Amino acid sequence: MAAVCHPRRALVEIPAPQPKIAARMRRSYLEILSARLAPSPLPRSRNTNTKRLQSLDLSMGGMWRGRIDEQCEKMDEHPTPLSKQQLVQLIRSLILVEQSHEPRIMASDLKYLQEDLQLKKANVYRSIPYSRFGSNRDAHCYRKAYPHLVAFKVSCQEWGQVLLRNKEWDIVLEYSLMAWRYTTELPQWDTASHNALKEQCYSILAAHSLAALQHYRPELTRGRELLRRLKMAQLQSQSIVPCMEELQRIMGCTDDLSMDTK
For residues 134 and 132, what is the distance between their CA atoms, to the nearest angstrom?
A: 6
Query: Which pTM value belongs to this model?
Result: 0.61
pLDDT tens digit sequence for 217-246? 999 999 999 999 999 999 999 999 999 999
Question: Quick one: 50 exposed, middle or buried, by C-beta within 10 A (0-12, 13-18, 19+)?
Answer: exposed
Q: Is the four-CA dihedral 242, 243, 244, 247 of positive or negative sign?
A: positive
Q: Which residues of 210-235 are buried (b: 16+ CB within 10 A; e: fewer)?
A: bbbbeebebeeeebbebbebbeebee
Task: Provide the pLDDT for residue 109.
Answer: 75
In 10 A of CB 102, how many CB atoms? Answer: 10
Q: Is the four-CA dihedral 174, 162, 95, 187 of positive or negative sign?
A: negative
Quote the distance between the C-alpha of residue 168 and its chain's center.
25
- Residues 6 or more apart whose CB falls under 8 angstroms from that of 191 comprise 138, 139, 142
pLDDT tens digit sequence for 157-212? 999 999 999 999 999 999 999 999 999 999 999 999 999 999 999 999 999 999 99
Task: Provide the pLDDT for residue 12.
Answer: 57
Q: How confident is the model at residue 147 (pLDDT cuts 50, 70, 90)?
A: very high
pLDDT tens digit sequence for 4-30? 566 665 555 666 665 555 444 555 545
Q: Which of 35-39, 114-118, 195-199 has the lowest mean pLDDT?
A: 35-39
Q: How far is CA 205 from CA 29, 151, 158, 234, 240, in A?
A: 55, 15, 11, 12, 8
